[in-house]
Amino acid sequence: MMSAREYRKASAEIKRKYRRKMRKQRSFVSVWGAPLLVAVVFIACIVSIISNKVELDAKQNELAELRAQAEVLEAENATYENILYEKDERAYMELIATEKLGYAYPDERRYYDTVQLS
């Protein structure tokens, strides 16, 4: 059996060793833990900002393309509205026949360039 004095001495030694062990573990965390955590959070924020910027640029390009396409479609729509509300249907039919279908009047001559430059 151990005496009370030996028990206290052994207990104090165990506590001292435990504190040293914990100090070593704590020192790593206190020295490198917080700065490492801050660095990781900072890098994650930078990556997030950059990816959001790239995505924003892509969406702005897409928006510009869609706006240009909308302008073209609005102009085409205005042309169709003019044709729809125009009283002279014959002029429209002539335009379609000559430009899109390639028709010509009997006394009209059309010349086409058949040479293709490479």
Its domain, for residue 74, covers: 4-100
For the entire predicted model, the pTM comes to 0.47
Which tokens sit at 102?
């390639």
Beta-carbon count within 10 A of 97 CB? 13
Q: What is the DSSP string of 34-78?
A: HHHHHHHHHHHHHHHHHHHHHHHHHHHHHHHHHHHHHHHHHHHHH
- Look at residue 54 and tell me if it is in a domain: yes
Tell me what pLDDT residue 10 has.
Answer: 85
pLDDT over 60 (residue 29):
no
- Look at residue 85 and tell me if it is in a domain: yes
- Look at residue 35 and tell me if it is in a domain: yes
- Look at residue 111 and tell me if it is in a domain: no
| Long-range CB pairs of 102-107, under 8 A, 24+ apart, other chains included | none
pLDDT over 70 (residue 31):
no
Tell me what pLDDT residue 73 has.
Answer: 96
- Look at residue 72 and tell me if it is in a domain: yes
- Look at residue 107 and tell me if it is in a domain: no
Domains identified in the chain, total number? 1
Please state the rounded mean pLDDT for residues 81-102: 80
Residue 23, CA atoms < 13 Å, CB-side half-sphere: 6
Residue 50, CA atoms < 13 Å, CB-side half-sphere: 6
Mean pLDDT lowest among 19-23, 25-29, 54-58: 25-29
CA distances from 91 to 57, 84, 85 (A): 46, 12, 13
- Look at residue 109 and tell me if it is in a domain: no
- Look at residue 19 and tell me if it is in a domain: yes
